[in-house]
Structure 1
Amino acid sequence: MTRVEPPQQPRGFADRRVLVIGAGCSGLSALKECLAAGLKTVCFEKSSDIGGLWRYSRDPSRGTIYKSTIINTCKEMMSFSDFPPDRSMPAFMHNTDVVAYFESFACKNNLYPHIQFDTEVINVAQSDTYQTDGSWTVRFRQAGADQPEQTETFAAVLVCNGHHTVPRYGTVPGLDNFTGRVMHSREYRGPEPFAGRRVVVIGAGNSGLDIAVEISRANDCYDPAEHVPPPAAEKQAKQQSPDKGPGKPAIATSVSTAISLSGHIPGWAFQNPEYDHLYRPAAERSDRAKSTRTRVPAVHLVSRSGTYVMARTTPAGVPNDFQWTSRFNLTMMPPRVKALFSRVGVQFSPAAHDRYGLTPKHDFFSSHPTINGDLFSQLHTGSVVLAPDVFNIEGKTITFLDGRSIIADDIILATGYQIAFPFIDAEDPALADLRVEKNRPKNLYKFVFPIDRPHSTLAFIGLIQPFGAIMPVSEIQARWVAGVLRGALKLPSVVEMRRQTDAELKAMDQLFYESDRHTIQIPYPAYTDEIASMIGCMPPIGSLLLKDPTLFFHLVFKGSVPYAYRLVGPDAWKGARAAITQAGQRMLPVHMRLTRDTMATEMQRLVDETGSAVTRQISSILTLLALVAGVLFTFYRFGFLTGCAAALLCAYGLTV
């Protein structure tokens, strides 16, 4: 019989320990919120310090960012809701700045004494008394080969190990035949090992573009002597049939056929025989081409389905995520209007995607955007060359769908990650509901709580891919989980959780195009607004139109900064309003050349920071007078009933 009541916490729960797995951004949020809720909490971190993926490490076995990584979301959009980054930090922080911010957050909230470093969790399983008290048995081990395994029982377990740990290699035709070096982007640390080598990067996501651009800048690749022609048998077949041959796609010389296969106009459609040395081996070049030392493209970037590429900032210098992730753009604008604006914006952007064959078939908001401001410059210098999907690989010869064949030394697979929990035994019948199918956990309410369980003592935090930074989403999840564990918040019934989850997964499949990249995508800020409503910290945006128009404007038309969830409700923060209204100013470059305009901007920032309550009251009074005048005009012009309706609407707006 299916249980229809929501999970309940057993008595005495707050007296037992809660375990947080991982001390990255999600783990730090979970630890802080559990401690603030009065729960005895400990965090197990596998490495020797906090930061998770954001702490650079040269250890190839550890998941980490590469040395040059800069975060793609601006600092105000990725911050914790009651801890704005220092103004001295750049708008887009280097990975060392991100780690420094995490360290400051941990120190401010006294988290270090509660973190047990160099501790690897081996297994998490239901305890013998799980059905009664919801507890979990955890096996773990301290760093060191001679350290024995230890076992401890916890009242609850919060999984915060992220989803960028287990590489996904995808399917590349002929990859097993490649005689060069193959690696996943997870192993990439910097461009130095690729000096003088020809590289193919497969995957045009954020990592793929970053790696391709970085290698192309550091790599002056000239055609070396070992750039040999294809095998004799293949060359003979090509001479007999120029259109078809072993290891070559069955395409004719017509451009239309190639477009149907690759999705865009191939590069060879525009080639002049005078420049055939760019793609032909040395032995096949003309005499004139042989006489020069040829610089070849350092990197070929394979984009299978195209992608939308954005710079970090708009032409006006405003961070793109702050500009476009407003509640008006993402939650209030009708989907068709939003799709129309995205298509027009992409076509008239400085880097129109159609010119490069990058435009995908889906709309802009149907995919996680790719952030890179340098790709198009590298394309124009010839350092990076775009290519469609791989058709076949033989030795070091890679043939693409548009018929081009190149010689490559290295292949980097920027093909994403698999969702996995190495410490949860998927074969355990008691944990069957936690299995991941098609790279998606299907039995998690809001991607947090397992649905079909008698106790809500297991939660996953940060197991989502938002349209923006993950930090604010992890934090709001952690606040929700801490409230549930403490007993202050209750979950819906199992039937209701299942209904909502099925509906949300279906809606997500319709909103985002089908891809392994979008199995845990969530609409931001609609997702966080919903959880904030359950917590009781969702700001009353409607009433602010009259009470505080300035704040209303920032909450609706500016970036959805996380400080909004500290305006009201539990753990409200007095500095939330100032943090919201000053967010745009805090993202200006710290060191600017002083001119009359920049001095005026700085003076305006100081005025805004001192913020006058009198000014806000005057603004509210003027707004109220305007509404009263509008109601009176409605009475006069449209009659008594219409005027009453307008008055009721205004009264409702004042009380919402």
Structure 2
Amino acid sequence: MPSEKKQLLIVGAGASGLPSIRHALLYPNVQVTCFEKSNDIGGLWNYKPHQTDLSTVMKSTVINSSKEMTAFSDFPPEDTMANFMHNTEMCRYLKNYAKNFGLTKYIKLNHAVVSIVRNDDYAETGKWRKQFEGRIIHSHDYKDHRGYEDKVVVVVGLGNSGGDCAVELSRVAKQVYLVTRRGSWVFNRLFDRGEPVDMVFNTKFQMLFSQVVPTPILNWSFERLLNQRFDHAKYGLKPEHSALGAHITINDELPNRIACGTVRVKPGIKEFYQKSIQFEDGSVVENVDEVILATGFSFHFNLVEGGELVKVNENKVDAYKYVFPLATADHNTLAIIGLIQPIGSIMPISEMQARVYMESFAAGRQLPTRAQAGNWISIN
């Protein structure tokens, strides 16, 4: 009975990773895979003109050793290449090496390794924990559906970005799974008789109504309206929080996609395996190709004195009226405009914040003292 193949992961497809793949292939009992973080092979010799955290040479870099002493033992450089190759020639040499030995089919581009951990039985077996082989990206890096055709895609997060990604990909992917731990209340863009939903609820009457009617009754009314469009519990989307208890999700097509089966709702992820994902309900999805993390964003103000002046703690900033940082309340010449997540459009609020700031900065309108601003922040 043949012995089980040894699985080998090589991190990086540069000048060291490529010969590692090449020589791993000489052993029939080894199954090799290479993860390369960037979108091409060559490592630092693949010149990157844009700002990046990846290693890269300068545009003018020339190797410091001769091509004869630089070359791999079984692949001499071309005669036409200079003795001291420019980085473009060096990169071409590496790509020719990969092509000559058929290495590219073992390389997964745009695959970043973020952690390497020993397996639980490492002391006995010497094995390392197997990492998920599919691609994982943040929704920030998702541009369009191209490249996702006929693939199994898991979208994590049921905010507006997650819902949009799931709906768009459900038209081309083999199957889309939408992961949500706490669910969400889903609004359509249009309300009764085709009225935009934000125009229906952002009226003086509705504002007055919300101030008079107790919050539990408002929530009950909202949830009743939303469940008349589709039953959130039946569709696996009903959250524990009330309709006004968290930011809503705006999506016109998601219920239809769930009803058609092109989007399937799953609870939180319990564990990643090599080619599959297990969820908190015990179910497992096999042969997952892509994971898109639509799990929100974090922000910082490192531009301002290296982030030491206006500090961010769990995406919260001490700022009076969400505009004036408490750290600069002595003069209030610094303002943060648009640092708010409203129910509706941010643009009119940004306009009003800018007008408030200019009243203070240019017109001399007096703002509360630091102590008064701090008290407002602690309450709100």
Q: Shorter-chain-normalised TM-score: which range?
A: 0.5 to 0.7
Alpha-carbon contact 2:187-2:226 (below 8 Å) kept: no
Cα deviation 1:236-266 (Å, max 9, x = unaligned): xxxxxxxxxxxxxxxxxxxxxxxxxxxxxxx
The equivalent position to 2:177 in structure 1, one of 297, 300, 307, is: 300
1:496 and 1:212 map into 2 onto residues whose CA distance is 45
1:344 and 1:333 map into 2 onto residues whose CA distance is 19
Describe how 1:197-346 pairs up with structure 2 within 5 A: 197-219=151-173, 221=174, 298-330=175-207, 331-334=210-213, 335-346=215-226
Cα deviation 1:479-538 (Å, max 9, x = unaligned): 01111111341101222111111111xxxxxxxxxxxxxxxxxxxxxxxxxxxxxxxxxx
Alpha-carbon contact 2:178-2:264 (below 8 Å) kept: yes
Q: Does 1:456 align with 2:336?
A: no
Alpha-carbon contact 1:194-1:215 (below 8 Å) kept: yes
Shift of the alpha carbon at 1:380? 1.5
What code does the residue aligned with 1:405 have? Answer: V
Shift of the alpha carbon at 1:381? 1.4
1:321 and 1:370 map into 2 onto residues whose CA distance is 13
Describe how 1:431-510 pairs up with structure 2 within 5 A: 431=309, 434-441=310-317, 443-453=318-328, 454-504=330-380
Shift of the alpha carbon at 1:313? 0.5
What code does the residue aligned with 1:200 have? Answer: V
Unaligned runs of 5+ in 2: 1-37, 39-50, 52-58, 60-118, 120-128
TM-aligned CA distance change 1:362 to 1:328, over 3 Å = farther
Unaligned runs of 5+ in 1: 1-59, 61-119, 121-144, 146-173, 222-297, 505-656
Aligned residue in 2 for 1:179:
133
Cα deviation 1:171-213 (Å, max 9, x = unaligned): xxx9982111000000000001111111000001100010011
What code does the residue aligned with 1:336 have? Answer: P
1:425 and 1:195 map into 2 onto residues whose CA distance is 45
Shift of the alpha carbon at 1:315? 3.5
1:183 and 1:322 map into 2 onto residues whose CA distance is 35
1:327 and 1:365 map into 2 onto residues whose CA distance is 18
Identity of aligned residues (%): 34
SS of match in other structure, 1:412: strand
Cα deviation 1:516-568 (Å, max 9, x = unaligned): xxxxxxxxxxxxxxxxxxxxxxxxxxxxxxxxxxxxxxxxxxxxxxxxxxxxx
TM-aligned CA distance change 1:451 to 1:176, over 3 Å = farther
The equivalent position to 1:395 in structure 2, one of 263, 266, 274, is: 274
Alpha-carbon contact 1:177-1:395 (below 8 Å) kept: yes
Alpha-carbon contact 1:203-1:415 (below 8 Å) kept: yes
2:343 and 2:162 map into 1 onto residues whose CA distance is 18
Shift of the alpha carbon at 1:426? 4.6
Shift of the alpha carbon at 1:427? 6.0
The equivalent position to 2:292 in structure 1, one of 412, 428, 439, is: 412
What code does the residue aligned with 1:401 have? Answer: E
Structure 1 runs of 4+ aligned residues shifted over 3 Å read 425-428
2:364 and 2:237 map into 1 onto residues whose CA distance is 49
Alpha-carbon contact 1:329-1:338 (below 8 Å) kept: no
TM-aligned CA distance change 1:176 to 1:343, over 3 Å = farther
Aligned residue in 1 for 2:101:
none
TM-aligned CA distance change 1:333 to 1:217, over 3 Å = farther
Cα deviation 1:52-103 (Å, max 9, x = unaligned): xxxxxxxx9xxxxxxxxxxxxxxxxxxxxxxxxxxxxxxxxxxxxxxxxxxx
Number of matched residues? 253
SS of match in other structure, 1:437: coil
SS of match in other structure, 2:154: strand
Alpha-carbon contact 2:191-2:197 (below 8 Å) kept: yes
Aligned residue in 2 for 1:375:
254
What code does the residue aligned with 1:444 have? Answer: A
1:375 and 1:496 map into 2 onto residues whose CA distance is 45
1:498 and 1:183 map into 2 onto residues whose CA distance is 39
Cα deviation 1:557-601 (Å, max 9, x = unaligned): xxxxxxxxxxxxxxxxxxxxxxxxxxxxxxxxxxxxxxxxxxxxx
When you count helix as a share of all residues, which structure comes out higher? Answer: 1
SS of match in other structure, 2:133: coil
Aligned-residue Cα RMSD (Å) equals 2.5
Describe how 1:78-157 pairs up with structure 2 within 5 A: none
What code does the residue aligned with 2:182 have? Answer: S
Shift of the alpha carbon at 1:415? 0.5
TM-aligned CA distance change 1:455 to 1:302, over 3 Å = same
2:289 and 2:163 map into 1 onto residues whose CA distance is 19
TM-score, normalising length from structure 2? 0.63
SS of match in other structure, 1:417: coil
Shift of the alpha carbon at 1:423? 1.3
Shift of the alpha carbon at 1:332? 2.4
Shift of the alpha carbon at 1:476? 0.1
1:358 and 1:327 map into 2 onto residues whose CA distance is 31
Cα deviation 1:29-57 (Å, max 9, x = unaligned): xxxxxxxxxxxxxxxxxxxxxxxxxxxxx
Describe how 1:450-599 pairs up with structure 2 within 5 A: 450-453=325-328, 454-504=330-380
What code does the residue aligned with 1:437 have? Answer: N
TM-aligned CA distance change 1:189 to 1:365, over 3 Å = same
Alpha-carbon contact 1:451-1:498 (below 8 Å) kept: yes
Alpha-carbon contact 2:184-2:238 (below 8 Å) kept: yes
